[in-house]
Chain A
Amino acid sequence: MLLLLLALAQPAEPQTPYSLESYLRLVGAYRSANRAAAVREIRAWPPATVRAAAGDVEERGLRESSASPDKIAIDTVEAAVLMHAEAGLLALREVDNEAARSHLKAAVALFSWSRQEASKLRAQREALLRVSKKDVQQRFPLPQYDVRPRIDRVRFSTALAAGALAAGQPATAQPFAEDAKQRAPSDPDVLLVFGAVAEGLAAAERTRGREDAASRWLVEARLTLATAVTHEAGPLPDPTAPAEPTSSGLEARLRLGRIALEDGRLEDARRWLEEIDARSGDSRQRHLAWLFLGRVADRQGRSDEAASFFRRALDACPTSQVTALAWAHAVERASGPRAAEPLVTRALAMPLRVASTEDPWRAYLFGPPGYAEAALARVRRETLER
């Protein structure tokens, strides 16, 4: 009876019986049409099992040729890398930090290991070709096999950085953003993501009361985003022509304007933001530019101009509580607290958003919307669809 009670009191064991074969089947499903189901299933695996699976892959070894079918092909390993990356980013979004850590570690470990192994195998093959005589090579040709990794490291690191930032974890994003920036210091997309991560780190430091660290990150963000603008591909579109809606250059300008506003460099802020007003066709960017321009005008004591920008921002995003509150504040500065009350009432009467990401300001520190998903999808496409 006691044993029965003890058995009942045991915590639920993981349902997935682990074996390397079951893991590889899951990776195979990820590579096929069952990507979402595979990610769901791997997320149910306990962190220890995830670590064990990654370790077993390394122990089994990377297949150097078709003559070693017992080993694991590099495209399978790279699919596993992306599967764990995707699972880790999803876990980050759900603040399941232990799971996120185990999947992201597995992704990075398998990524690094596969590249080192591939490089070693290629070197061995080349050495063998160098020392063997030509007639031997003709009689006993080495099996042809491609051990070239397909995952682009810069894009992979950028995707992980953007994904971690989108999950509200700039500290997790930081090493990936730094890795990408180190390898591609003039890539506008890389610089944009790094700049957004630096903004997120500045905000995080500020919440910890570390103003000096926050200021340093904000300077880093400003310099990086300014470099992104310098290196953006091609000139800005003609102001009279339809603007490029999601170009990293315009996003970098928007963020430079916001940082200048925070720094109190109001004329700099105005200059950057007016470019968005004039050139961007992206409704989110335009809403944010008007919101920030309204704040600039408010701080400069131009209440009519502030009201005009806030009105446009609210027309573009009628459920933006912060816009109504910022407008209320501007009205209050000009006409006193009573004048602000209707706008505060309006803000509080706004329908609740399903997700904070629907509000451009609330989502701002999570990076450019959709960027993380697009970056990962691109890496996946380039890696798996070959």
Chain B
Amino acid sequence: MSGLAIAALLAVAAPQQPPVFGAEVGIVRVEVSVTKAGEALGGLTAEDFELRDNGRVQDVRLVLQEQAPIDAVLVLDLSFSVRGAKRTALQGAAAAFLDGLRPGERAALVSFRDDLRLLQDFTPDRSSLFAALGRTEPGGSTALRDAVYAALRLRPPSPERAVTVVFSDGVDNVSLLTAPEVVEAASHTDAVVYGIGIRQKGDPPETFLPAAVQATGGRYFEAVSDRDLRERFLDVLADIRSRYVLSYSPAETPEPGWHALSLRLKRKKGDLLVRKGYWR
């Protein structure tokens, strides 16, 4: 089943008491990636976007990147297969990502094997984060879904943009939570999920992570080798920086439940990547 189809099913299966999306009461924030022929399309203004919330056109404004710092959670696969050169490459790639954060931006590190570990809680302190990266010890199975769920619930809603970057080189073989459950949980957060996978020849296609990514309007990157990892982590950072952050106060008192979002460019052409909706 495609991620889109899963998202559609999830939209139907709404829980009784939907969570509140976003930290600021009444304000909805939506991140969107706009690309043309694979390249980020810059220079757009709020007037270029038409955003509908449950079918109603909203009056959006553009939040400047400088006013939208990020809180990033790096979720790193440290199962048995990530040892030796791959582990070193992963540490270097994650360090490059952390190096690219702006002063004041925070990150947290979660590792997973068949167990989960909070290597470092949210901090803007690079040295603590780098030290935590050094405490990684590969071994065991791959509890990918459980780890993504935990990472998504690690951070209470805050004004910062939430980004969850998940690296995995394998397929989940030990999580208790199912893929639809975690994808649904992802659609209930304000975090944008990015996935970075590295597959061996003959590996089955990874389906869970792309579905979680799609549910949040994120992006999935595939690395072809260990040496490629650093570039993919930096691709994630570049994608985060190139996104437009739109915000609006719903024109009418928002109804509780699932809010379907639809977004289009009014005057230009481009490919949009945005979450399908949010819960209020």
Contacts and interface: CB of A to CB of B under 8 A. Distances in A.
B115 A344 contact: no
A121 B66 CA distance: 88
A329 B177 contact: yes
Given A207-B173, A208-B204, A329-B181, A341 B116 contact: no
Given A325-B176, A344-B150, A352 B205 contact: no
Main secondary structure of the interface of A (DSSP, over half): helix
Contacts of A231: none
Interface in B154-199: 154, 156-157, 170-177, 181, 185, 188-189
Contacts of B17: 334-336
Contact of B189 (A95, A337, A345): A337
A208 B171 contact: yes
Interface string A199-217: 0000110111110000000
Q: Which of B117, B150, B170, B189 has the most CB of A within 10 A?
A: B150
A109 interface: no
A328 interface: yes
Interface stretch (A64-72, A80-88, A222-230, A354-362): A354-362
A344 B172 contact: no
Contact of B15 (A204, A326, A333, A353): A333
B20 interface: yes
A358 B149 CA distance: 22
A210 B170 CA distance: 15
Contacts of B157: 338
Interface in A340-386: 340-341, 344-345, 347-349, 352-353, 356, 359, 361-362, 365
Which size bracket describes the interface of B in this complex? 35 or more
Nearest to A332: B185
Given A328-B153, A332-B153, 9 more contacts: A207-B173, A207-B204, A209-B204, A334-B16, A338-B156, A344-B149, A345-B154, A352-B115, A362-B115
B19 A336 contact: yes
Nearest to B190: A337
Nearest to A319: B115
Contact of A352 (B18, B117, B175, B177): B117
Contacts of A326: 176-177
B207 A329 contact: no
Which size bracket describes the interface of A in this complex? 35 or more
B141 A356 contact: yes
Given A337-B153, A341-B156, A356-B114, A325 B177 contact: yes
A295 interface: yes
Nearest to A349: B118
Nearest to A356: B114
A321 interface: yes
A295 B17 CA distance: 19
B140 interface: yes
Interface of B: 15-20, 80, 110, 113-118, 140-141, 146, 149-150, 152-154, 156-157, 170-177, 181, 185, 188-189, 204-205, 207
Interface of A: 95, 168, 203-204, 206-210, 291, 295, 321-322, 325-326, 328-329, 332-338, 340-341, 344-345, 347-349, 352-353, 356, 359, 361-362, 365
Q: Which of B15, B152, B174 has the most CB of A within 10 A?
A: B174
Contacts of B110: 348
B146 A322 contact: yes
Q: Which of B15, B116, B140, B146 has the most CB of A within 10 A?
A: B116
Contacts of A209: 171, 204-205, 207
A135 B163 CA distance: 95
A48 to B, nearest CB: 26
Contacts of A348: 110, 116-118, 150, 154
A341 B153 contact: yes
B176 A295 contact: yes
B176 A344 contact: no
A322 B153 contact: no
Which 7 A-B pairs have CB atoms at the shortest separation, nearest pair first?
A: A209-B204, A336-B19, A344-B153, A348-B118, A207-B171, A322-B176, A337-B19
Given A335-B17, A344-B150, A95 B80 contact: yes
Given A321-B115, A356-B141, A329 B205 contact: no
Q: Which of A208, A322, A352 has the most CB of B within 10 A?
A: A322
Contact of B149 (A95, A207, A295, A325): A325
B173 A337 contact: no
